[in-house]
Structure 1
Amino acid sequence: MSAYSQAPSLTGEHVRLEQLTPAHEEDLRAACADGELWKLWYTSVPEPSGIAAQISGHLAAQAAGERAPWAVVDTRSGRAIGVTTYLGLAPEHKRLEIGHTWYAGSAQGTLVNAEAKYLLLTRAIEELQVHRVEWRVHWFNNRSRAAVEKLGAKLDGVLRKHTILANGTVRDTCVYSLIDDDWPTARFALEHRLGLL
Structure 2
Amino acid sequence: MSNAKVPNALVGERVILEPMMLEHIAALSVAVCDGELWRLWYTNVPHPDEMKTYVEAAIAAEARGEALAYIVRDKFTGEVVGATRIMAWDQLNRRLEIGHTWYAKSAQQTGINTEAKYLLLSYAFETLDVMAVEFRTHWHNQRSREAITRIGAKQDGVLRNHRLLKDGTVRDTVVYSIIDSEWPDVKQQLRSRIAQYAR
Please tell me the TM-score bracket, short chain as reference: over 0.9
Alignment of structure 1 residues 153-164 onto 2, 5 Å: 153-164=153-164
CA offsets per residue over residues 105-142 of structure 1, 9 Å max, x none?
Answer: 10011100000000000000011110000011000000
> Partner of 1:13 in structure 2?
13
How far the C-alpha of 1:55 sits from its partner, in A, is 0.3
For 1:13 and 1:188, the matched residues in 2 are separated by 16
1:14 CA displacement: 1.2
Consecutive unaligned residues in structure 1, runs of 5 or more: 1-6
Runs of 4+ more than 3 Å apart: none
Partner of 1:114: helix, strand, or coil? helix
Letter aligned with residue 18 of structure 1? E
Residue matched to 2:189: 189
In the other structure, the counterpart of 2:4 is none
**Within-5 A mapping of 1:88-107:** 88-107=88-107
In structure 2, list runs of 5 or more residues that go unmatched.
Answer: 1-6
Deviation at 1:25, TM superposition (A): 1.2
Report the Cα distance in structure 2 between the residues aligned to 1:60 and 1:117, rounded to whole angstroms.
Answer: 23
C-alpha distance in 2, partners of 1:184/1:65? 28
> In 1, distance between residues paired with 2:8 and 2:181?
25
Looking at structure 2, the residues matched to 75 and 24 of structure 1 have their Cα atoms a distance apart, in angstroms, of 16
**Counterpart of 2:92 in 1: which secondary structure?**
helix
- 1: CA distance, partners of 2:106 / 2:130: 32
Instruction: Give deviations 1:8-42, integer Å, cap 9, x for gaps.
Output: 20111111001100111111111000000000000
Partners in 2 of 1:76 and 1:50 — Cα distance? 28
Q: TM-score, normalised by structure 1?
A: 0.94
CA displacement 1:40-68 (0-9 Å, x = unmatched): 00001011111111000000111111110
| Aligned positions of 1:73-92 closer than 5 A | 73-92=73-92
TM (normalized to structure 2)?
Answer: 0.93
Matched letter for residue 86 of structure 1: I
Identity of aligned residues (%): 48
Aligned residues: 190
Letter in 1 for 2:129: Q
Q: CA RMSD in A?
A: 1.1
Measure, in 2, the Cα distance between the counterparts of 1:155 and 1:8: 31
